[in-house]
């Protein structure tokens, strides 16, 4: 899902019954500093685990702290499908998360 900023209102308005039917959801989020963003993320976290986070290096900039980029791709997996292994070591960055723009530096979070 990449709807250039409309994702926030979409998720806040989406009925819980719809979210619970989605097994996996890949979303490119845009922005981070408004209250509605937190509302949407809190709602999604009731149903999903974050399985992967990748920052889009087309929009890397220092002034988006604590995020390194204005746009970021998130893979969400429904909690009804399983539970993460809390004892597992953090996964290394995946080679599948290549830079969106190979001609400019990447800006993935290191923690």
pLDDT tens-place string over residues 83-103:
888 888 777 777 778 898 999
Q: What is the pLDDT of residues 33-63, one digit of tens each?
A: 777 788 888 999 999 999 988 989 988 888 8
Per-residue confidence (pLDDT) for residue 37, from 0 to 100: 81
Q: How far apart are CA 79 and CA 20, in angstroms?
A: 9
pLDDT band, very low/low/confident/very high, at 25 (cuts 50, 70, 90): very high
Q: What are 102's strand-pairing partners? A: none
pTM as predicted: 0.84
């Amino acid at each position: 899902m990449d709807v250039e900023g409309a994702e926030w209102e979409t998720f806040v308005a989406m009925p819980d019954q719809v979210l619970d039917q989605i097994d996996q959801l890949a979303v490119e989020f845009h922005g981070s500093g408004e209250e509605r963003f937190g509302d949407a993320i809190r709602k999604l976290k009731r149903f999903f685990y974050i399985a992967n986070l990748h920052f889009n290096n087309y929009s890397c900039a220092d002034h988006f702290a604590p995020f390194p980029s204005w746009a970021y791709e998130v893979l969400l997996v429904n909690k009804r499908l399983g539970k993460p292994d809390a004892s597992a070591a953090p996964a290394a960055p995946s080679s599948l998360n290549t830079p969106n723009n190979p001609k400019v530096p990447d800006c993935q979070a290191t923690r």
